[in-house]
Amino acid sequence: MVQSRNEVRPRTSIPPVPEVRTSSRFGAKVLVVLGLILWSMEWGRPELLGQAPAPKHDPALIHLLQAERSTPGSEELQTAWRTVSQWPADRLVEVLAAADEANPVSLHWLRTAIDGMLEQPNFKTPISELQQVVQDRERKFAARRIAWDLLAAANPELMESITESLIADPIAVFRRPAIEKRVALANGLEKKSAERKRILLEAFQAARDEDQVGQVARVLDLEFGEKPDLAKHFGYLVNWHVVGPFPNIGEAGFHESFSPEKILLSDFDGDGRPSESLEYSGNGGMLRWQPHAAVNDTGELDLNKILGKEKEVVGYGVAVFDCSEERPAEIRLRMQNAFKLWLNGELLQSQSIGHTGNAFDQYAIPVTLKQGKNLILIKSCQNKPPQEIEWYDTWHFNVRICDKSGTAIQEQK
């Protein structure tokens, strides 16, 4: 089953770590903690986990890569960890290659083994090799993040210069600091100057995180009178048709297959409108699909405004996305309620627990878009709150279509 970013892809618990004395010279323990936090945030992202052929590893690394939560303190793991932690600096790249394949538990062991390597007498950080790993966009997140931490500690000036080269990096964690530097540079220039505008536009085009995009967009709007098209930038689906409400007494509606779930592309005309002959029996009588546009700047479709501020109900939203070619993509959702998501009639995601969060890109679902029209159907369930809580009234969602780096895929016109 396809996993969601914050729910079905849980952050993995890490087992106890063997005691390691850290080097104040490198602040190694800090690097381990920081790296693990960032890894836990990123684990499970499709752009970070490729399926590269497994290289041949030293037996000790193989033991560490096989670490699971069920064997956190085995003698074999302890021995393997001690072996790797005593390796010299010229084997650090070997450990980073293993990190490309590690799960969160085995990564923890590898990180602390690197911590031990830093303690070896006369350890000399392999600057050139680490720089290559950081700048290699074909590498996975884990190895690049570790190399970033080590290089930043050993040669912060070099790391600063490398940061600027990552402004178009496919992984947002590495792109973000580069955009911050561009914004800081723009902030030091004369307001309303052509150069300031040029740099801000460059930062805007590179940004993928909601806060950075919004920050730069506001300046461009207020200072230069140019309001960026955020729906286009993010790839929000704006044009929807909605139908509902249907009953969801005792949350039974989540499991019931209502008639809108049978909708097909053949039910739409050339302009992406469902046939007016489609009628469904729901709360209050016969229901038809009604057109509604999401908020352009946020992509939000508020079902409370469309279907009424009700509880224990189900609503459906359907949209057609016209793709210029068959290609891999991601459907990313901000969805607080229990929901189901279909693409071209195939159920991709099912989340029965409602009110689990409301974050930007809360769910990232890898898909393959076919060439031509693609049918996206969402079922959203509003439950009965256990008590009167204002935030429980929320009943909205937004959807965007992008590639694995978060770059919008533009619809074919």
Range of the domain at 52: 28-165
* 43 — pLDDT class (breaks 50, 70, 90): very low
Instruction: Judge whether 18 lies within some domain.
Output: no
pLDDT tier at 97 (50, 70, 90 boundaries)?
Answer: very high
Looking at the domain assignment, is residue 2 inside a domain? no
Which pLDDT band holds residue 70 (cuts at 50, 70, 90)? low
User: Does 240 share its domain with 197?
Assistant: no
Query: Quick one: 374 and 348 in the same domain?
Result: yes
Nearest to 167 by CA among 207, 134, 119: 207
* 114 within domain boundaries: yes
For the chain, the helix, strand and coil percentages under 3-state DSSP, each to the nearest 5: 40, 20, 40
Report the mean per-residue pLDDT for the chain: 86
Query: Same structural domain for residues 151 and 85?
Result: yes
Kindly report whether the global pTM for this prediction surpasses the value 0.85.
no
- Note whether residue 121 is domain-resident: yes
Q: What is the pLDDT of residues 148-182, one digit of tens each?
A: 999 999 999 999 999 989 999 998 889 999 999 99
What are 68's two structure tokens? 């699971």
Picking from 128, 148, 165, the residue at the C-terminal end of a domain is 165
Tell me, what's the pLDDT at 54? 45
What would the pLDDT profile of 242-278 be if each residue is shown by its tens digit? 999 999 999 999 999 999 999 999 999 988 899 999 9
- Top-confidence residue, 207 or 68: 207
Please say whether the beta carbons of 331 and 401 come within 8 A.
Answer: yes
Give the residue from 117, 132, 165 where a domain finishes. Answer: 165
- For residues 174 and 166, what is the distance between their CA atoms, to the nearest angstrom? 6
pLDDT at position 17:
32
Count of CB atoms situated within 10 Å of the CB of 401: 23
Q: Which of 122-131, 263-272, 354-363 has the lowest mean pLDDT?
A: 354-363
Q: Edge-to-edge strand order for the sheet containing 301-302?
A: 301-302, 396-402, 327-335, 363-369
Verify that 292 and 178 share a domain, yes or no.
Answer: no
Same domain, 106 and 57: yes
> Residue 21 domain-assigned?
no
* Count: domains in the chain: 3
The residue-averaged pLDDT of 344-355 equals: 92
412 in a structural domain: no
Same-domain status, 291 and 359 = yes
Place of tokens 């309303």: 192
Query: Residue 374 falls within a domain, yes or no?
Result: yes
Residue 212: other Cβ atoms inside 10 A: 20
Query: Are 371 and 268 in the same domain?
Result: yes
Do residues 244 and 380 share a domain? yes
Asked which of 207, 228, 249 is the last residue of a domain, the reply is 228
Q: What is the pLDDT of residue 57?
A: 87
Percent pLDDT > 90 in the chain is: 74
What digits encode the pLDDT tens for the residues 322-343? 999 999 999 999 999 999 999 9
